[in-house]
């Protein structure tokens, strides 16, 4: 069995009084697309930046391709490609010359013309960086992450702030990389991104890994249950919703009641009858298939998307 490409053990990191990471541990196997899923402030970026060698951990060990990101920084950077959460480059650098410049720093760079084509930047090859749209800048950041033919790719929130169309284009690119058996670690707070792309996901919150597994394994935790979100004109009697037919779990988040039911149809019928009896108006109702959102909710008692 080959060594994991990334090995993280007992990672701790503080920023002053703030404990950003509290014992994070996981491994990334060769050829897999591994996701770190969590809300803003969970510790995803701190983790990935320690792996990239941008930050130093307070405690714990980290190995990337068998190398220590701090002690073997220069060597590690030759085999690792990264795209930051927010990439900044000089405004007056042109797209193609930026790729060529970074390619010069590595031993075995890729052909920059091929990268321009792959990331649909050919028409913008002579454009200045400040002339690019958000999506184009992100595509350039991804191209730069691949310019050195890396063994390991780190992507920090690669689709954050992008519109759905651009996000789908980037998903296609990541799926191509996955088919090429590239080893990728990406951080995200988008559930659909983690579910669609990742072979395995670590759910992280408050600096700890709360759960780790394939999306399917994680969703098994809520297997067979459908999430029904209900908004009412006033609060119902205490515990009433939890006793409805089929309801396995009931909790309140702000003004919404979340019911996990193994028999959603029966639950809804029972709900409507109950509300009619109590004289409570139903203001909204949505049903959701089991997702990582439910896993996160079960683990932390709050939503992934605030």
Partner 1 sequence: MVNHTWTLSMMRIKLALRSRTFLFFSMAMPMGFLFGYVIFFGRGNPLVVPYLLGAILALSVMGAFWGLSMQLVMFREQGILRRFHLAPIGPGAMLASSIISNYFLVFPTVILEFLICRFIFHMPTWGNLVAVFLLVSIGAATFSAMGLVVASVTNDMQETTVINNIIWSLFLFLSGVTIPVGLMPGWVQKLILFLPATYLATGLEGAMLHAASFRDILADMIALTVSLILAFEVARRIFRWEPEEKIRGKAKLWAVAALIPFLLLGSWELTRGHLLQEINHQYQMISQRAAPPRPPSR
Task: Please select the residue that binds partner 1; options are 61, 70, 86, 220, rule is CB under 8 A.
Answer: 86
Structure tokens at 59: 């405690």
82 binds partner 1 (CB under 8 A): yes
* Residue 105 found at the interface with partner 1 (CB under 8 A): yes
Which of 90, 164, 239, 301 forms a contact with partner 1 (CB under 8 A)?
A: 90
We find the least distance from the C-beta atom of residue 82 to partner 1, in angstroms, to be: 5
245 in the Ramachandran plot: left (φ > 0), alpha (ψ -120 to 50) or beta?
beta
Shortest CB 183 distance to partner 1, Å? 17
21 binds partner 1 (CB under 8 A): no
Token pair, residue 208, equals: 């700890």
Q: Cα separations (Å) of 38 from 8, 67, 122, 305?
A: 17, 27, 35, 9
CB of 109 to partner 1, least distance (A): 11
Q: Which of 74, 180, 254, 277 binds partner 1 (CB under 8 A)?
A: 74
CB atoms within 10 A of CB 211: 18
Residue 89 as a binder of partner 1 (CB under 8 A): the answer is yes
Select the residue interacting with partner 1 from 62, 84, 153, 197 (CB under 8 A): 84
Contact 278, 178 (CB under 8 A): no
Of 90 and 279, the one with the shorter C-beta distance to partner 1 is: 90
139 CB neighbour count, 10 Å cutoff:
27
For residue 298, which of 200, 218, 239, 217 has the smallest C-alpha distance? 218
Is 139 a binding residue for partner 1 by CB under 8 A? The answer is no
| Contact between 160 and partner 1 per CB under 8 A | no
- Residue with tokens 């890729």, as numbered in its chain: 110
Query: What is the distance between the alpha carbons of residues 169 and 133, in angstroms, rounded to a whole number?
Result: 14
For residue 101, state whether it binds partner 1 (rule: CB under 8 A).
yes
Which residues are CB-contacts of 265 (< 8 A; sequence separation ≥ 6)?
none
Which stretches of the chain bind partner 1, using CB under 8 A? 52-55, 73-75, 77-78, 82, 84, 86-90, 92-93, 97, 101-102, 104-106, 144
């Amino acid at each position: 069995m080959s060594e994991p490409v990334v090995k993280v053990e007992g990672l701790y990191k503080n920023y002053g009084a703030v404990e950003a990471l509290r014992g994070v541990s996981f491994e990334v196997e060769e050829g897999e697309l591994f996701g770190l899923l969590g809300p803003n402030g969970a510790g995803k970026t701190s983790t990935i930046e320690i792996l990239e060698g941008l930050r130093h951990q307070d405690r714990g060990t980290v190995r990337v391709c068998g190398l220590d990101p701090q002690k073997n920084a220069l060597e590690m950077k030759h085999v690792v490609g990264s795209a930051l959460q927010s990439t900044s480059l000089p405004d007056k650098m042109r797209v193609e010359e930026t790729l060529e410049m970074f390619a010069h720093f590595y031993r075995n760079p890729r052909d920059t013309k091929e990268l321009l084509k792959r990331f649909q930047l050919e028409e913008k090859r002579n454009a200045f960086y400040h002339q690019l749209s958000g999506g184009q800048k992100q595509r350039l950041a991804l191209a730069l992450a691949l310019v050195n033919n890396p063994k390991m790719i780190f992507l920090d929130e690669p689709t954050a702030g992008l519109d759905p169309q651009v996000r789908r284009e980037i998903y296609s690119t990541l799926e191509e990389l996955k088919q090429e058996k590239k080893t990728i670690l990406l951080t995200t707070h988008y559930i659909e991104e983690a579910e669609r792309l990742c072979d395995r996901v670590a759910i992280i919150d408050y600096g700890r890994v709360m759960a780790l597994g394939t999306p399917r394994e994680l969703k098994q935790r809520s297997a067979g249950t459908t999430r029904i979100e209900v908004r009412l004109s006033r609060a119902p009697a205490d515990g009433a919703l939890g006793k409805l037919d089929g309801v396995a779990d009931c909790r309140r988040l702000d003004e919404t009641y979340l019911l996990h039911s193994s028999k959603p149809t029966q639950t809804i019928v029972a709900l409507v009858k109950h509300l009619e009896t109590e004289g409570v108006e139903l203001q909204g109702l949505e049903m959701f298939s089991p997702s990582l959102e439910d896993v996160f909710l079960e683990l932390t008692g709050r939503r992934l998307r605030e």
